[in-house]
Amino acid sequence: MYGQKLFLFDFDGVIVDGMNEYWQSSLLACEKFLNSPNILINDSLRNKVSNTFKEIRPWVKYGWEMVLIAHEILKRENPLNAHTKHNFIKEYNQNCQKILQDNLWLAEDLQKSLDNSRKYQIDKDFEKWVNLHIPFLEVMDFLEKLKQEKIKTAIITTKGKLFAAKIVEKLNIFPEIIIGYESGTKTKIAKELSEKYEIIGFLEDRKKTLIDIKQDNQTKNIPCFLADWGYLKDSDRINLSHDIKLLKLNNLKICLQFS
Ligand SMILES: [Mg+2]
């Protein structure tokens, strides 16, 4: 019943390290598109990614959460910092919801502000924006190897499809499929793709996403790999269930043995 082989990739933290871009775009979203009167941006925040932001990034699922976190860090009063970070991540989802309510924000509007911030930078200086993303060269080589073996590739990302496509083009890689946040959850997307393709692997750096794939009857047979080089929480590497394999950047080829 199976046809063409397909390998699924997450994008951020798997194919590229975009930490500089997440911070710059979130900061600009707060400054220019959210018009928040409560923030104060000094040169040091503008020029260097906040450590607190870096440390919280593994908890992020959708782009809008990065805008919310950046806003907390940039706040004039009671900003989120190294000391208050721990409480923030302890109840991450509840805290994000509470901050939305306190500011009378909608997640969709924060996402729009992030998308607008990216569009603005692309229009202004595309090269500068795209160069904020650093590709993982070993993954570039692995994509090339898949191509040689006639295995198709799909990028499924919680980024907007348009932005992922622009970076992919710059990196000179040619996935057959790119699917962005507009198309629903990754489990739903994987289900749809599995009706058409034989999915031989899913490489992702968000453990919960892989657990969801393994818990769904239609997708549980997809071989799942957690990217050790991505934005992982320390706890992600321990207590990993046997059906999700931790993959090292220097040993990517091993995942083809499971197909
Ligand atoms: Mg990721």
Domains and CATH numbers, the chain: 5-17+134-258 (3.40.50.1000), 19-130 (no CATH)
239: pLDDT confidence band, cut at 50, 70 and 90? confident
Q: Note the pLDDT of residue 258.
A: 75
Cα-flanking dihedrals φ and ψ of residue 92, to 5°? Answer: -55, -55
Mean pLDDT across 37-59: 96
pLDDT of amino acid 75: 96
Centre of ligand 1 from the C-alpha of residue 157, in Å: 7
Between the CA of 218 and the centroid of ligand 1 the distance, in Å, is 22
If you measure from the C-alpha of residue 37 to the centroid of ligand 1, how many angstroms do you get, rounded to a whole number? 31
Assess whether pLDDT exceeds 80 at residue 50: yes
Does residue 1 surpass a pLDDT of 80?
A: no
Residue 125: strand, helix, or coil: helix
Residues by chain with Cβ below 5 Å of ion ligand 1 = 10, 12-13, 205
Full-model pTM: 0.93
pLDDT value at 259 more than 70: no
% the chain with pLDDT above 90? 93
- Distance CA(65)–CA(243), nearest Å, equals 29
Query: If you measure from the C-alpha of residue 99 to the centroid of ligand 1, how many angstroms do you get, rounded to a whole number?
Result: 23
CA of 13 to the centre of ligand 1 (A): 5
Asked if pLDDT for residue 121 goes beyond 90, the answer is yes
Residue 228 alpha carbon to ligand 1 centre in Å: 11
Q: What is the predicted pLDDT for the residue at 55? A: 97
Mean pLDDT of 189-201: 97
Region 70-75: what's the mean pLDDT? Answer: 98
Task: Report the separation in Å between the CA atom of 76 and the middle of ligand 1, taken as the mean of its atom positions.
Answer: 30
- 236 neighbors 207 (Cβ within 8 angstroms): yes
257: CA distance to ligand 1 center in Å? 23
Residue 59, pLDDT above cutoff 70: yes
User: Residue 206 is encoded by which pair of tokens?
Assistant: 């968000």
pLDDT tens-digit map of 244-255: 999 999 999 998
- pLDDT of 2 above 70: no
Query: Chain-centre distance of CA 248, in angstroms?
Result: 18
Share of the chain above pLDDT 70, in %: 99
Q: How far is the CA of 222 from the centre of ligand 1 (A)?
A: 18
CA quadruple 47, 53, 58, 59: dihedral sign: negative
Mean pLDDT of the chain: 95
Ligand 1 midpoint to CA 69 (Å): 17
Strand-strand pairing, 134-135 and 16-17: antiparallel
pLDDT of the residue at 8: 98
| Local confidence band at 110 (pLDDT 50, 70, 90 cut-offs) | very high
pLDDT at 35: 87
Amino acid at 187: T
pLDDT beyond 60 at 146 = yes
Q: What is the pLDDT of residue 162?
A: 95
Average pLDDT over residues 204-217: 97
Ligand 1 centre distance from Cα of residue 241 (Å): 19
Strand residues in 112-230 grouped as ranges (E): 134-135, 152-156, 177-179, 198-204, 224-227
